Amino acid sequence: MIKPEDADFHPNDPTLKRWAETIGFWFAIPEERIYGNVYVLARPNVGATISSINVVQGHNSDPFSVDFTDPHMHVPCPDSMMKFSLENGLSVEVDAPPTGYHFTYESLAGVCSMDMRLDGCMPAWDPNDPAENPLLSVDPEHTDLGLGDAWAGGHLDFLGRVTGTLELRGKKYTIDSMGGMDRSWGERTELGQAAISYVHIPFDENFGIHLVMALDHDDEVSYGPLRFGYVYEDGKVYGITSAEMEGSQVDLLPTSNRIRVTDERGRTYEVYGSAVASAPWYTFSPSYVTFQALMRYELDGRLGYGLMADTWGIEFLADRTSRHGRAARRLAAGTTGR
């Protein structure tokens, strides 16, 4: 169960130099085909923080063609996650923990600024709690959330309404759309040996879907099995018990998907998404790349826009796509007779 104090740093042994606490926030301006990310990874026991901010409009096959990217690696770690300012110009205040956030940002280059509120429309959901995640209550061994140790210590997720303003290279935008956030804490080794697809599908304050699927790459991209997820509807959250996902990509960037989920009530939802904006995001962690897209969804007359983030460990991909990786796999297959 997530509590208000989970918005702040968690007690830990100060000798654990790999301890990390993160904030991952996304917003969108669907009518402009714009989405953006604000990411913070703090390591309080070494006094350093990674902060990566980007804003994307339309489709981009290269990281250098996105409209704005600001990766600061590193800045000094704040004393609290509840209210802090970083030397890259980002300030965060959690004024209604654990789901009410205020983000402001002024880029040091003077080309991007933000003033946004994220108001959660649902309780923060805990995939590590068997009372909330039915996959755990059925199978206590289902503890792999998909990113190795990155989410094992603690993780929360929620959807919400984002309001505010964005100014980008002299152009101002008003924001009033659904968005979302996750947060994690624990030891994090950043080996880059995992891969997941992180999907948010918020339609409005009363209904949305979130799921995380495993990813693999064997000549083509495949999704599954389900790691965890929920359906939010009319003030209540229901854990997902099964999910199927198919998708198409161009150079690993998502272009469309089909998702079918069943929640613990036995209700099934099937949605189809198409990308309206996309880009590779290499700068939230040197160990990973996220090929992500702002997807447009329709369901029973509802229209929604959500983030799809295919997050690949660089080493995970190298093991499957590099010359040495492919050669080692061929050798292993031959040794075992496959």
Question: Which pLDDT score, from 0 to 100, does residue 337 have?
Answer: 44
Separation CA 55–CA 38 (nearest Å): 9
pLDDT tens for 203-243 read 999 999 999 999 999 889 999 999 999 999 999 999 999 99
Please count the structural domains in the chain.
1
Separation CA 45–CA 15 (nearest Å): 7
Question: Which pLDDT score, from 0 to 100, does residue 338 have?
Answer: 45
CATH code of the domain in which 18 resides? 2.40.370.10
Residue 170's SS3 state is coil
Separation CA 94–CA 181 (nearest Å): 13
- Indicate left, alpha or beta for 170 from its phi (over 0: left) and psi (-120 to 50: alpha): left
Q: Domain limits at 311?
A: 4-335
Which pTM value belongs to this model? 0.94
Q: How far is CA 43 from CA 90, 299, 311, 318, in A?
A: 17, 41, 21, 27
Question: Which pLDDT score, from 0 to 100, does residue 73 have?
Answer: 87
Separation CA 184–CA 10 (nearest Å): 10
Question: Which pLDDT score, from 0 to 100, does residue 335 have?
Answer: 60
Q: Say which residue, 112 or 326, is predicted with more confidence.
A: 112
Residue 154 burial (10 A CB sphere; 0-12, 13-18, 19+): middle
Q: Which residues contact 338 (CB under 8 A, 6 or more apart)?
A: none
